[in-house]
Amino acid sequence: MALRAALRNKCGLSSLLSQLSSCSSHGGVRVSPAFIAQRRNNSSSSAVKVDFDQSTGVAVLHMQSPPVNSLSLDFLTEFCINVEKLEMDKSCRGLIITSSQPKVFSAGLDIMEMYGKSPERCGVFWKAVQEMWLKLYSSNMVTIAAINGSSPAGGCLMSLTCDYRIMADNPRFSIGLNETQLGIVAPFWFKETLVNTVGHRHAEMALELGLLYNPSEALKIGMVDQLVPEDQVLTTAAQTMKKWLAIPDHARQITKSMMRKPTVEKLVSEREADINNFVSFITKDSIQKSLRMYIEMLKKRKG
Amino acid sequence: MALRAALRNKCGLSSLLSQLSSCSSHGGVRVSPAFIAQRRNNSSSSAVKVDFDQSTGVAVLHMQSPPVNSLSLDFLTEFCINVEKLEMDKSCRGLIITSSQPKVFSAGLDIMEMYGKSPERCGVFWKAVQEMWLKLYSSNMVTIAAINGSSPAGGCLMSLTCDYRIMADNPRFSIGLNETQLGIVAPFWFKETLVNTVGHRHAEMALELGLLYNPSEALKIGMVDQLVPEDQVLTTAAQTMKKWLAIPDHARQITKSMMRKPTVEKLVSEREADINNFVSFITKDSIQKSLRMYIEMLKKRKG
Amino acid sequence: MALRAALRNKCGLSSLLSQLSSCSSHGGVRVSPAFIAQRRNNSSSSAVKVDFDQSTGVAVLHMQSPPVNSLSLDFLTEFCINVEKLEMDKSCRGLIITSSQPKVFSAGLDIMEMYGKSPERCGVFWKAVQEMWLKLYSSNMVTIAAINGSSPAGGCLMSLTCDYRIMADNPRFSIGLNETQLGIVAPFWFKETLVNTVGHRHAEMALELGLLYNPSEALKIGMVDQLVPEDQVLTTAAQTMKKWLAIPDHARQITKSMMRKPTVEKLVSEREADINNFVSFITKDSIQKSLRMYIEMLKKRKG
């Protein structure tokens, strides 16, 4: 059932990009055809904005890297620095992650970080992706994803690391680990994060077909925990956070660690091998060629 | 969905105790504010009553330790001796576990066994909890939990060890591993038993939030297998038992062992370390303090 | 819920055989009471028929071993040779497995291969069962089971190895690993295949009770992915195949391997021990006796 429905969304990133383009043309925001290649020129403090409320102990991290919060090396670096700061701050007990960009939570890994780059650079990039996952998946804070837009690939991964996922109930939004549709492969720790969330069988289909789910489908298989109207995503996240913070921190943290430690430790112990795997895969001629074709396709679509 | 509903029950043990107090005042049974500290003075044969029907090969074990079948060291010792006897009796093929106490299956571990006790005594207590789990989770008998009342924490664990769970469809009853709400932590084998039953994601949320589910919610996530009207729990258990006993014992037993052996062996091999973990955690000043506050709160409520 | 419904089907193989007998008497096909013992006399190329369409890259393998596609040593050998040929053919990207026999996909392992045979012969047979599983579960092709009839035991296993399962929506058909009902035990790799498909808890109940599910129940627990009217099973399989083949092969294959490798490697490394286990179990006097009684029962039913 879910498969058939999800397959309707199967054009994947193309569909998402098309949707975003369409939105932007209506919305008056010009979106460059190679927008996923854009690097932010602003200062390192502007790709994300953190609002920390000392009275509640809850921080809200707004991703605000136009147009679609692509996870570039710069973005990931800034993101991780901010999460690390909050993690070290004993007064911060909860973190809500959301997007300031319209219609998208995060479009995932920046494809331009993987195209035409040196192996060394690719390795540095991948290490930053690992770092983002490690920081979030093992965070001592309560983490809630306030998914107020589409969240493919790396954007979905970021959501999956959180303790709870609230998604805007807009059927135009989609979420999923759709890497195979681009000819690339989600590594084992993406896979294990997904298996831990939706179980082995749904993960198998989702990953092999690179499925993107609309909110209802995502809720049905457990990829997200709750749907609310678009304008209530953030307020619901704040309310839900209160319930999580009612639990004594030490008991919740030990329990969270017990649930996630095996998965975290596996990446920690295989981190270098995982980087090598990624670099040797992504720098293959055949993979570079398909990435180039994909980028050309995006340009033509714009043209 | 389940979360939001379950959170309504989140006051946890307090809620349960309040409910039980309320019941008892209506029912005319006086419940001491420190009832969970009560130790039975009766002979060792009276905390549980076993009815074994030779003609069917099925034993019904009634937990009858007022007021709420708390799992004290004495209770666990008597419980395990009785289960062991049945296990050794080749003519006994099936075991139904139920409660003779009104409105509660078992309130779980006796908090007074964990408060103000010597490390040695805490270790002895924990070993008895392990023993109960080991005996039930690896039993060669068909085990069915006839859950005719609330079943938090250790009571839930006992239910989860069984092959099948039938719960009374009374929305005032609840079930769940709500340890974090008390500031304590369910150990890895509680966790694995729950993961084996409801999957990784539901276990993660249930354990981190210490969720108590009403019967409908418990059924929905698979924490129990079937709901029936309160007065049909035991008869349905007996009928279900017939179906399980229709399967050749040796084939069912080998299959059960195949499913559960990895989890059982993990505790067997880490038993001492698990006791040490528990003792060093529970005897911490901070944990003892929060247990004391909890007990005070119960007394005040009574007062 | 699923249990109670599934238990209605619990008479298992007997029920299936009865149903098949009944069908055959209506349908005019004579079914020998010992039909599961029948060995095909035809040439080795006729137990299965393969239609390979070069233009689509999809092969359809029709099992056509009357009356019920029992998995005998001869059948398995021919089956594996054909799958191997397709696997080696780079132009073949997808494989649909279906049955040419009315009302049955495959009745599973041929009981006569397990009764009254030498340990050596039993070992050879078991190795062929392993081979079938290994070839299918780790196939680089997209594999779809077009389940157009009942599929107990080994027939269910074959279905479970596929990437996707479409079943005819006929309530008289059933599917499940019902080995315990015959007093035999599904080995660990049957178990892990089922756990990977329906999760630990459903697998536990399904295997311990030897449950046979009707199509609706099978869909509900995820044992099959989709139900369609009987006459649309094959066309739906072909349509679904197109969607799977839209994913770049290399990305899908690496992902599939990542999901299934741990399970495959476990059997590969324990293959000899698994054969020894099977042989020593199946050649036990008690097991042989119960197989004999089962075969007698079938003969009497016919008589």
Distance from CA of B295 to the nearest CA of A (A): 17
Q: Which of B107-116, B130-139, C44-53 has the lowest average pLDDT?
A: C44-53
Residue of chain C nearest A221, judged by CA positions: C222
How confident is residue B303, by pLDDT bands cut at 50, 70 and 90?
Answer: low
Q: pLDDT at position C4, please?
A: 41
Q: What are phi and psi of C51, to 5 degrees?
A: -110, 110
From the list C196, C243, C244, the residue facing A201 with the nearest CB is: C196
Residue of chain B nearest C192, judged by CA positions: B259
Q: pLDDT at position A301, please?
A: 79
Work out the average pLDDT over B137-150.
98
Query: pTM for the whole thing?
Result: 0.88
Minimal CA–CA distance to B220: which of C1, A285, A191, C131? C1
pLDDT digits (tens, 9 = 90+) for C225-254: 999 999 999 999 999 999 999 999 999 999
Report cis status (omega within 30 of 0) of the bond before C67. Answer: yes
Following CA atoms A216, A222, A226, A228 in sequence, which dihedral angle do they give, to the nearest 10 degrees? -20
Cα(B14)–Cα(B153) distance, rounded to whole angstroms?
12
From the list B181, B201, B290, the residue facing A247 with the nearest CB is: B181
Work out the average pLDDT over A286-291.
92
Cα(B78)–Cα(A3) distance, rounded to whole angstroms?
52
Residue A31 pLDDT greater than 50, yes or no = no
Distance from CA of C6 to the nearest CA of A (A): 21
How confident is residue C193, by pLDDT bands cut at 50, 70 and 90?
Answer: very high
Q: Using the beta-carbon criterion (under 8 Å), do C200 and B259 form an inter-chain contact?
A: yes
Cα(A204)–Cα(C259) distance, rounded to whole angstroms?
6
How confident is residue B43, by pLDDT bands cut at 50, 70 and 90?
Answer: very low
Percent of chain C with pLDDT over 90: 81
Q: pLDDT at position A158, please?
A: 98
Q: Which letter, b or e, does each residue of A37-68 get, where b requires 16 or more Cβ atoms within 10 Å of its Cβ?
A: bbebeeeeeebbeeebeeeebbbbbbbbbbbb
Minimal CA–CA distance to A237: which of A125, A147, A122? A147
How confident is residue A94, by pLDDT bands cut at 50, 70 and 90?
Answer: very high
**A contact test, residue of B8, B180, B291 with most A CBs within 10 A:** B180
pLDDT digits (tens, 9 = 90+) for C161-186: 999 999 999 999 999 999 999 999 99
Supply the ipTM of this predicted assembly. 0.87
Q: pLDDT at position A303, please?
A: 66
Query: Annotated catalytic, A123?
Result: no
Which is more confidently placed, A128 or B22? A128
Q: Rounded mean pLDDT of chain B? A: 88
Q: pLDDT at position A45, please?
A: 58
Minimal CA–CA distance to A76: which of A103, A108, A100, A42? A108
> Residues B249, B49: contact at Cβ < 8 Å?
no
Cα distances from C202 to residues B87, B94, C76, C116, C199, in angstroms, run: 25, 21, 28, 34, 6
Cβ partners under 8 Å of residue C186, min gap 6: B255, C157, C177, C179, C180, C194, C207
**CB count in 10 Å sphere of residue A300:** 9
Helix axes C188-198, A200-209, angle to 10 degrees: 70
The structure tokens listed for A214 are 């609309």
Q: Using the beta-carbon criterion (under 8 Å), do B256 and C204 form an inter-chain contact?
A: yes
Cβ partners under 8 Å of residue C68, min gap 6: C20, C35, C36, C101, C104, C106, C107
Beta partners for residue A41, in sequence order: none
Q: pLDDT at position A83, please?
A: 98
Q: Which of A5-14, A266-275, B208-217 has the lowest average pLDDT?
A: A5-14
Q: pLDDT at position B299, please?
A: 84
Which is more confidently placed, C21 or B113? B113
Q: pLDDT at position A219, please?
A: 98
- Residues of C classed as catalytic: 109, 154, 178-179
Helix axes B200-209, A249-269, angle to 10 degrees: 140
Distance from CA of C215 to the nearest CA of A (A): 14
CA B106-B107-B110 angle, to 5 degrees, is 115
Q: Rounded mean pLDDT of chain C? A: 88
Which is more confidently placed, C79 or A10? C79
Cα(B33)–Cα(B56) distance, rounded to whole angstroms?
42
The structure tokens listed for C10 are 């619990």
Cα distances from B43 to residues B29, B38, B39, B80, C262, in angstroms, run: 22, 14, 11, 15, 52
Distance from CA of B199 to the nearest CA of C (A): 7
> Residues C44, C82: contact at Cβ < 8 Å?
no
Q: C249: buried, middle or exposed (CB in 10 Å: 19+, 13-18, 0-12)?
A: middle
Residue of chain C nearest A188, judged by CA positions: C258
From the list B163, B199, B219, the residue facing C208 with the nearest CB is: B163
Q: Which of B4-13, C107-116, C136-145, C189-198 has the lowest average pLDDT?
A: B4-13
Q: pLDDT at position C303, please?
A: 66
Q: Using the beta-carbon criterion (under 8 Å), do A251 and B4 form an inter-chain contact?
A: no
Q: pLDDT at position A294, please?
A: 86
Q: Which of A269-273, A285-289, B79-83, C30-34 has the lowest average pLDDT?
A: C30-34
For chain A, first and last CA: distance in Å? 37
Following CA atoms A194, A197, A198, A199 in sequence, which dihedral angle do they give, to the nearest 10 degrees? 80
Which is more confidently placed, C34 or A73? A73
Q: State the DSSP string of chain B.
A: -HHHHHHTTTTHHHHHHHHHHHHHHHHT----TTGGG----S-TTSSEEEEEETTTTEEEEEE--TTT--B-HHHHHHHHHHHHHHHH-TT--EEEEEE-STTBS---B-GGGTSS--HHHHHHHHHHHHHHHHHHHT-SSEEEEEE-SBEEHHHHHHHHTSSEEEEE--TT--EE--GGGGT----HHHHHHHHHHH-HHHHHHHHHHT--B-HHHHHHHTSSSEEE-GGGHHHHHHHHHHHHHTS-HHHHHHHHHHHHHHHHHHHHHTHHHHHHHHHHHHTSHHHHHHHHHHHHHHHHHH-
Residue B53 pLDDT greater than 80, yes or no = yes
Residue of chain A nearest B185, judged by CA positions: A251
Work out the average pLDDT over C177-206.
97
Residue B203 pLDDT greater than 50, yes or no = yes
Percent of chain C with pLDDT over 70: 84
Residue B52 pLDDT greater than 60, yes or no = yes
Which is more confidently placed, C33 or A250? A250
The structure tokens listed for B221 are 């996530």
Three-state secondary structure call for residue C136: helix
Query: Annotated catalytic, A154?
Result: yes
Cα(B133)–Cα(B181) distance, rounded to whole angstroms?
22
Q: pLDDT at position C247, please?
A: 97
How confident is residue C299, by pLDDT bands cut at 50, 70 and 90?
Answer: confident
**Partner A contacted by B232 (CB < 8 A):** no
The structure tokens listed for A116 are 């035409």
Relative to beta strand A175-176, strand B48-53 is unpaired
Cβ partners under 8 Å of residue B241, min gap 6: B56, B58, B94, B96, B142, B144
Residue B2 pLDDT greater than 80, yes or no = no
Which residue out of A20, A109, A177, A212 is catalytically annotated?
A: A109
- Within its chain, how far is the Cα of C1 from the centroid? 25
Q: pLDDT at position B195, please?
A: 98
The structure tokens listed for C17 are 């055989």
pLDDT digits (tens, 9 = 90+) for A208-221: 999 999 999 999 99
The structure tokens listed for B273 are 């370390």
Give me the count of residues in chain A: 303
Work out the average pLDDT over C56-78.
97
**Partner B contacted by C290 (CB < 8 A):** yes
**Partner C contacted by A52 (CB < 8 A):** no
Cα(A244)–Cα(A228) distance, rounded to whole angstroms?
18
Distance from CA of B202 to the nearest CA of C (A): 13
Work out the average pLDDT over A22-30.
33
Cα(A139)–Cα(C82) distance, rounded to whole angstroms?
51
How confident is residue A15, by pLDDT bands cut at 50, 70 and 90?
Answer: very low
B95: Cα within 13 Å, side-chain hemisphere: 31
Q: Using the beta-carbon criterion (under 8 Å), do B180 and A258 form an inter-chain contact?
A: no
Q: Subunits touching A (CB < 8 Å, at least 3 pairs)? A: B, C
Q: pLDDT at position C69, please?
A: 98
Percent of chain A with pLDDT over 70: 84
Q: pLDDT at position B36, please?
A: 37
